[in-house]
Chains A and B, each alone.
Chain A
Amino acid sequence: MATYSTNEFRSGLKIMLDGDPCAILENEFVKPGKGQAFNRVRMRNLKTGRVWERTFKSGESLEGADVMDKDMQYLYNDGEYWHFMEPDTFEQHQADKATVGDTALWLREQDNCVVTLYNGVPLAIAAANHVELTITETDPGLKGDTAQGGTKPATLSTGAVVKVPLFLNEGEVVRVDTRTGEYLSRAKD
């Protein structure tokens, strides 16, 4: 893997630090007129999601991380692993619970998602920003109540619980923003 010098650090670059792959968020150049130059770097540890701030002497370099995002299709969950497939090569990858995390709540079989591969192995899964899921459990709908703002909890086919308007019923399909977990609209079919 290539190495990158601090002056090549820009937002989005993936590098290795303390044995973990990280994505650079921000790189600030700091230099006293007559003194040593530094780069104050904010980065996200891609394994833990934590943001790290580290200061390097300008010119120091770090190894690049073999990290890439790939569009894949979610196939199924065998109880222990979630399985994904690359649509062009049909190559399959499996990810455990720690990797999939809360994204599992938004994964519907056959849906597309983004799998982040680190050294060829899934490191993180991101669902599409908007998904359509069926309501499997909720209190009966209140007819006519389409305008006022009241909400109730509804369980979706993936197990996610979202707040939906009172008029919705079990079996209906809703559109949800996976980044906020918020109901957007009734799906148009």
Chain B
Amino acid sequence: MLEVDVPVLGLRGVTDVHIDLLRVAEPHPAYLQSSPEYFMKRLLAAGSGSIYCLGKAFRAGELGKRHSPEFTMLEWYRVGWDEHRLMDEVFDLLTDVGLAKEQAKCSAYSYRHIFEEKTGIDPLVCEILSLQRLASEVANRDFSGEHRSVCLDLIFSLLVEPTLPGGVVFVHDYPACQAALAEIKVDADGVAIARRFEIFCDGIELGNGYYELTDARELRERFSADNTQRQKMGKELVDADEKLLAAMAAGLPSCAGVALGVDRLLMNILGAQHIREVLSFTDDFANYICGK
């Protein structure tokens, strides 16, 4: 597999509703990239074959025990693979770096299964009201009127994630409303699901992968749906990346891709409780926290 080096500064950025980009102001307005995804997909479309990239990524406003606005990401794409084969490779990598040494067991659940097991609610087909009710209970606040996806995120993060079994856990087949850039398929029950997976280790999210969407028209629609949603939320709109769309129209090969948070990987290997412990020059980090 070929290592690639792509820019961290780009004219366009992701439209993801829940990712806030760090913007670089005049004289050359640009975005610090929230992941190398768009550039890597342009390389894939140009015929690079399977590639990986280890580099910095940036996200505005993400600051906490497990978040830093600047972090290190390992992202790779396997041409001709599907998401399940890639999950196996992720597990091999985690074992190789010593992450899964004691509990070298690996479990995999569909989102629907694990969510329903913990909450008694089927996240894919239930009424929005039952999700809003449970979300309000979990948050101790009124979440009625909230979006399906927001309720799912809240319940999953606060109720499901902390009770995941130890060791490496893959959660796959996400609700279609959380597809991001994954292919959507219709499952055996006729329900639309996203071919997306998340990796957790000891209950902490380590990464996210897709069987990649390759249809440029569908991608354009998702970009525009994101921006409609951004407008409703009063967030800045992000122009669609025409170069990515053109690359995908020319032909992105069938592939699966995944991104791992390297800082969290280190935290897990070292048993660190705070991301600060694995970052250098954290006095700057402390200043962010103080808002200076």
B118 interface contact, C-beta 8 A:
no
Q: Across the A-B interface, how many residue pairs have beta carbons closer than 8 Å? A: 73
Contact mask for chain A residues 108-140; partner B; CB cutoff 8 A; 1 contact, 0 none: 000000000000000000000000000000000
Query: What is B's interface to A at a CB cutoff of 8 Å?
Result: 16, 18-19, 61-67, 138-141, 149-150, 152-154, 156-158, 178, 180, 198, 205, 207-208, 261, 289, 291
Name the distance in Å between A148's Cβ and chain B's nearest Cβ: 45
Residues from chain A with a CB closer than 8 A to the CB of B18 are 31, 34-37
B138 and A29 within 8 A (CB): no
The answer to whether B62 touches A29, judged by C-beta atoms less than 8 angstroms apart, is: yes
B261 nearest CB neighbor, chain A only:
A33
CA gap between A37 and B205 in the complex, in Å: 14
Judged by a CB distance under 8 angstroms, whether A58 is at the interface is yes
What residues of chain B lie closer than 8 Å to A182, measured between beta carbons?
none
Interfacial chain A residues near B158, Cβ < 8 Å: 30, 38, 40, 55
Main secondary structure of the interface of B (DSSP, over half): mixed
Q: Tell me how far the C-beta of B177 lies from the nearest C-beta in chain A, rounded to whole angstroms.
A: 11
A residues near B149, Cβ cutoff 8 Å: 35-36
Contact of B16 among A28, A34, A55 (CB under 8 A): A34
- CB pair A37–B150 under 8 Å, yes or no, is no
Complex contacts, A57 vs chain B, CB 8 Å = 150
- Closest-CB distance, A18 to chain B (whole angstroms): 9
- Residues B140 and A53 in contact, CB atoms below 8 Å apart: yes
Contact present for A7 and B140 (CB under 8 Å): no
Smallest Cβ-Cβ distance to B154: which chain A residue: A38
CB-defined contacts of B62 to chain A, threshold 8 Å: 29, 31, 37
A56 close to B (CB within 8 Å): yes
Asked if A79 lies at the interface with its beta carbon under 8 angstroms from chain B, I say no
Interface residues of A in 54-72 (CB under 8 A from B): 54-59
List residues of chain A with CB within 8 A of the CB of B61. 7, 37, 58-59
* A36 engages B154 (CB within 8 Å): yes
Contact between A35 and B157 (Cβ–Cβ < 8 Å)?
yes
Q: Which residues of B contact A31 (CB under 8 A)?
A: 18, 62, 64, 67, 157
Is A144 part of the contact surface with B, judged by Cβ < 8 Å? no
